[in-house]
Structure 1
Amino acid sequence: MTGAGALLEVDGLTAGYGAAPVLHDVRLSVPSGAIIAVLGANGAGKTTLLRTLSGLLRAARGSVVFDGEDLRGVKVEHLVRRGIAHVPEGRGVVTELTVDENLRLGGLWRRDRLDAARALDEVYDLFPALAQRRASAGHQLSGGERQMLALGRALIGRPRLLLLDEPSLGLAPRITAQIMALLRDLRERTGLTVLLVEQNVRSALSIADEGVVLSLGRVVTRNNAAELRDDADLRHAYLGF
């Protein structure tokens, strides 16, 4: 699928591990400033999609174009500099480092030191719980605090596209609601574009503009969030509720 004003265009993407493809001819368009939820059962290929888009996994075929630039062969660190941030499932926090040290890792590559410091202050404003625990080690944090830390570290780089994998995993409903509300607020205030992989379908569709449903590595449908919520047959077939 393609569309005017798209920040990210994926065309014919096939990728996997070794000789076994997980994604098959995936086509996807992500408009600038949109929140797109990627939905599907376990094993549908959602995490593989994000890993391929962020450069952690090499595509076998197809193209990934970000803001008009073909990303094939571009190294992970260069993707970050171009404005793509990936928050993987499991948070990815360095547990031996403090909150402050983890956050500063997100800005090590930045040349504008003044703005990097400003971005750090903004993250502490977004997450007061992290500001209170800035000297605490990662292993001392709760699951919700670790998720905030991983998200905050990604935001230090001022990304244009955030690839977010299962942010609600293992979190209490109250914390999940806070994370989702924050994503919606960031989009409204900064124009951040989000590709959100999430097993909590209701939560994801509550903030998404559109949803893309994967099954066995293929896109089976794409529609606006409200229509996906109301499509009982599709929900029962692919989304488990």
Structure 2
Amino acid sequence: MLHGIRFTVKPGEIVAVLGANGAGKTTLLRTLSGLVRPTRGSVVFDGEDLRGVRVEHLVRRGIAHVPEGRGVVTELTVDENLRLGGLWRRDRGDAARALDEVYDLFPALAQRRASAGHQLSGGERQMLALGRALVGRPRLLLLDEPSLGLAPKITAQILALLRDLRERTGLAVLLVEQNVRSALSVADEGIVLALGRVVTRNKAVELRDDADLRHAYLGF
């Protein structure tokens, strides 16, 4: 459960959500994306309270959620998975451009566009899940544990991509990441959760340098 959590993510900002297992990180993202409905409080985006808004309508408003586990449709090809991310878009020309841009961002996917999801490596599936979200041109990206099970090199590539997208497009990112050092290296600010409550929020560099906080809540 979450209790009294209050924060803002601005356009062009990466905010890392940190804490031990069970702290409420994934629940927070699921609440923001409409998969869990809060009993109290509000979720405000562009000045509108989104409580009760259906998930598909949140996507149309510009919120994309890439859940833990690299959820792709394994029976579909890479290209078919990516096109799912833009099915709702009315501007078919821009949807096609967005698809091409994802292939430019992830050359490995371009090389395997006809491969089925189950044929991909873990890193390729993570790229595919992220690429599918980006085809929808989100303004807020909710990203849950993108490094889980991946080689450090692939993790570094994905985090570097987030930083580049933030700078080029103004994308706002709320990042849940088990690799605290990696998360703080790319984030502007961090929120530390414990038992569903915010312990602290501070600039990423301040959290990284706070030895007492790191030992108590972040495990390093």
Shorter-chain TM band: over 0.9
How far the C-alpha of 1:144 sits from its partner, in A, is 0.4
Equivalent residue runs for 1:39-118 within 5 Å: 39-118=18-97
Distance, in Å, in 2 between the alignment partners of 1:237 and 1:137 is 43
When normalised by structure 1's length, the TM-score is 0.91
Counterparts of 1:203 and 1:145 in 2: how far apart (Å)? 19
* Structure 1 residue identity aligned to 2:142: L
Give the match for residue 18 of structure 1: none
| TM-superposed deviation, 1:70 | 0.8
Shift of 1:148: 0.2
Deviations 1:46-104 (A, max 9, x none): 00000000000110110110011110111100000000000000011000100000000
Is 1:129 matched with 2:108? yes
Give the Cα–Cα distance (whole angstroms) in 2 for the partners of residues 146 and 51 of structure 1.
20
2:38 counterpart SS class: coil
Q: CA deviation at 1:191?
A: 0.6
1:149: how far off?
A: 0.2
Find the aligned partners of 1:64 and 1:56 in 2 and give their Cα distance: 13
Structure 1 position 136, deviation (Å): 0.3
Cα distance in structure 1, aligned partners of 2:153 and 2:99: 25
Kindly indicate whether residue 175 of structure 2 is the aligned counterpart of residue 196 of structure 1. Answer: yes
**One-letter amino acid matched to 1:91:** R
Which residue of 2 is the match for residue 19 of structure 1? none
User: Cα distance, 1:133 vs. partner?
Assistant: 0.1
Equivalent residue, structure 2, for 1:138: 117
TM-score (norm 2): 0.99
- In structure 2, the partner of 1:220 is 199
Question: Alpha-carbon deviations, 1:152-172, whole Å to 9, x = none?
Answer: 000000000000000000000
3-state SS of 1:61 partner: coil
Percent identity (aligned): 90
The AA in structure 1 aligned to 2:126 is Q
| Structure 1 residue ranges, 4+ long, deviating more than 6 angstroms after superposition | none
Q: Does residue 127 of structure 2 align to residue 148 of structure 1?
A: yes
Greater strand proportion: 1
Aligned residue pairs: how many? Answer: 220
Counterparts of 1:217 and 1:159, CA distance in 2: 27
